[in-house]
Chain A
Amino acid sequence: MAQTFKKSFDLRLRVFVPLGLLCLGAVALGAIYLGLPSNKDAGYRPEQPVEYSHKLHAGNLGIDCRYCHNTVDRAAFAAVPTTETCMNCHHKVKTNSSKLTLVRESYGKGESIPWVKVHVLPDYVYFNHQAHVTRGVSCVSCHGRVDQMIKVTQVAPLSMGWCLDCHRNPAPNVRPVEFVTKLDWQPDRPAEEIGRELIAQKGINPPVDCAGCHR
């Protein structure tokens, strides 16, 4: 009786089936890797309606973060400044700059500039800026060196694991409150040591239970 399959079929089956599965696995792993928040979300740099440079304002001119984002230490949400805040200076400075056309129009009409939000957290996460800033977590811990960015870029993955990294070990990211907006702060001894002292002193205890952030 003729065999249903040739002898070589066995070998081909044994080679190609595992190989195929391996390839599928590799493709799946690659897709998962590329989809990780550290790859997919970090590096997000949207175009803004106005070419506003944080490097110029916060870096070169040294304006404090809180001059514009004035609710950051008093509310959960770090305010995006109103056009009036811009005009505090720009009604005297660069009044004729074409880059500021939209700002002046917005000021005249009383309509907001449609800024594009860079750091977006999902709706099911509760995040409070005040709670972090008043305990000495600097802007730089999450937002990076914004004072060196011409266009603001998301540097952190903002994934849950990334949040938990700090909630489980906050010491490296806790500094004296007066230096919170000093993005280039260089302590004279290890930051972690200072952090540990402050945590003990203030009794900082970041939540790691589900309801800490998913309320």
Chain B
Amino acid sequence: MADLAIKPNTQLDLLNTTIDQPLITGEPTYHSITESVSRVVENPPSKFWFGLIAVTASLLLMLQVMLGYLVATGIGVWGNNIPIGWAWDITNFVWWIGIGHAGTLISAILFLLRQRWRTGINRAAEAMTLFAVACAGIYPLFHTGRPWRAIYWLLPYPNTMQIWPNFRSPLEWDVFAVSTYFTVSVLFWFVGLLPDLATIRDRATGWRRKIYGFFSLGWRGSARHWKHYELAYLVLAGLSTPLVLSVHSIVSFDFAVSILPGWHTTIFPPYFVAGAVFSGFGMVLTLLIITRKALGIEHLITLKHIDYMCKVMLAMSMVVGYSYASEYFIAWFSVVDGERFAFYNRITGPYAWAAWTMITCNVIAPIPLWWQAVRKNITAVFIITIFVNIGMWYERFVIIVISLHRDFLPSSWDYFHPTYVDICTFIGTMGLFLTLYLLFIKYVPMIAIAEVKHAVSHDIEKGAHH
């Protein structure tokens, strides 16, 4: 493996999948690729960018106000109450964590599988992972009501109370799973950035040169540097790969380890991972379709990328659909009244609208992706990804709220009503996510310049484009 990484050209030649059309379009040269990507970072921000960030930063401010209000008042400002102890907060947590999965999948698993098309989109997808995990972390942290106390509720360290977190609780596993995932994702992202930051540094002057110079850690692009870099990248890809599977498996344990009908299901770990990849690809596509247009990099993120991502999404949609069906089958097959009721109630009870929205968005809406014409139609793909984003939010809502709202004690059955704080907090985390994303596309090369050059080096040097 190490050998292959040191001489990546060999690996591409040996293991490359046949490519029926060029990965990037136009007449790319090494210089034009550098220009297209660096231009975004170097040109002064457009009025459009300022307009967008003004909106998203305002939403971020709203998030801060909402969280401040929650800390000052207590989590009663959210709509959750017994029996619906988890509602929008955990729904949003799982939704955001799921969105984060596309980044690691694209950057790690597709890297190890030598899928060279990943190079155009991995940087942005990884950045989305980081931002999505940051958004996700807010919810469980503030669900505690007193986030600063979460330090001793969640982290094992010697303390004057002589108490230790409960290691039998999946909520504790979550802490380690998510924080490990975040740490490795940050490292992976940053290591991948080094050569490109150095490219920007070399083109910059003044204080910008100092800042990019600092973060490129003295990268000079010598053979020695590349050797270490390739190895580090490979090791980090290897570390990230099991995390793609483990993080959402452990998130699913939050539910699967309990005894609540609707949650207590062995299919949850693979089902959640597939759902996470599904929603992750949905969100990456949504944002990249806008970004490539806005930044004029349609020749770097091409229809081919979108086509591949649509195929992954379609496959995941089928896994998710299969899981839904399996849940109903097992509920019927178990002959357990509670199980049967939970699933009957899911599609016929007061929340039937949510369950059917979920099935429509996640199973039915992606069906058109079977046709290549749809996959090549940007507008159609964009609309489908919006369905997927909504559908996957509803999936978590369905699992959490519907299972809880009619629990074991019929006298306490209830219907969840979100408060304005619930709604504003959710919109606020979108503000956080988009603000970070806008800053990212403006100040960090959003396409892996070095990797794209590498991936297309064959085409360029042979003069494949006529």
**Chain A positions near chain B (C-beta within 8 angstroms):** 1, 4-5, 10, 36-38, 157, 159-162, 164-165
Contact = CB atoms under 8 A, between A and B. Distances in A.
Interface in B197-241: 201-202, 209-210, 213-214, 218
Contacts of A159: 160-161
A20 to B, nearest CB: 15
A4 B209 contact: yes
Interface string B144-175: 00000000000000011111000000000000
Identify which of B160, B201, B209, B213 gathers the most chain A CB atoms within 10 Å of its CB: B160
Contacts of A157: 160
Nearest to A5: B213
Nearest to B210: A4
B163 A160 contact: yes
A165 B159 CA distance: 13
B440 to A, nearest CB: 23
A36 B213 contact: no
Contacts of B218: 5, 10
Q: 6 nearest interchain CB pairs?
A: A161-B162, A4-B213, A160-B161, A159-B160, A161-B160, A164-B162
A206 to B, nearest CB: 14
Contacts of A4: 201, 209-210, 213
A160 B159 CA distance: 9
Contacts of A37: 160
Given A4-B201, A5-B218, A10-B218, A161 B161 contact: yes
A38 B161 CA distance: 12
A52 to B, nearest CB: 31
B42 to A, nearest CB: 16
Given A4-B201, A5-B218, A10-B218, A36 B210 contact: no
Contacts of B160: 36-38, 157, 159-162
Contacts of B213: 4-5
Nearest to B162: A161
A1 B203 CA distance: 11
A36 B159 CA distance: 9
A181 to B, nearest CB: 29
Given A5-B213, A157-B160, A162-B160, 6 more contacts: A4-B201, A38-B160, A160-B160, A160-B162, A160-B163, A161-B160
A165 B188 CA distance: 45
A2 to B, nearest CB: 10
Nearest to B220: A3
Contacts of A165: 162
The secondary-structure label for the interface of chain A is helix
A158 B209 CA distance: 56
A165 B213 CA distance: 54
Contacts of B161: 159-161, 164
Nearest to B163: A160
B255 to A, nearest CB: 24
B234 to A, nearest CB: 25
B36 to A, nearest CB: 23
Contacts of A160: 160-163
Contacts of B163: 160
Nearest to A165: B162
A145 to B, nearest CB: 24
Interface string B417-440: 000000000000000000000000
11 contacts: A4-B209, A4-B213, A5-B213, A5-B214, A159-B160, A160-B160, A161-B159, A161-B160, A161-B161, A161-B162, A162-B160
Contacts of A10: 218
A37 B210 CA distance: 46
B134 to A, nearest CB: 23
Contacts of A36: 160
A159 B152 CA distance: 15
Identify which of B162, B201, B213, B214 gathers the most chain A CB atoms within 10 Å of its CB: B162
Interface in B76-115: none
A137 B204 CA distance: 74
A165 B163 CA distance: 11
Contacts of A162: 160
Nearest to B201: A4
A34 to B, nearest CB: 13
B212 to A, nearest CB: 8
B143 to A, nearest CB: 19
B425 to A, nearest CB: 28
A157 B201 CA distance: 56
Contacts of A5: 210, 213-214, 218
A114 B218 CA distance: 68
A180 B209 CA distance: 75
Nearest to B213: A4
A63 B218 CA distance: 78
B414 to A, nearest CB: 26
A90 B209 CA distance: 84
Nearest to B159: A161
Contacts of B159: 161
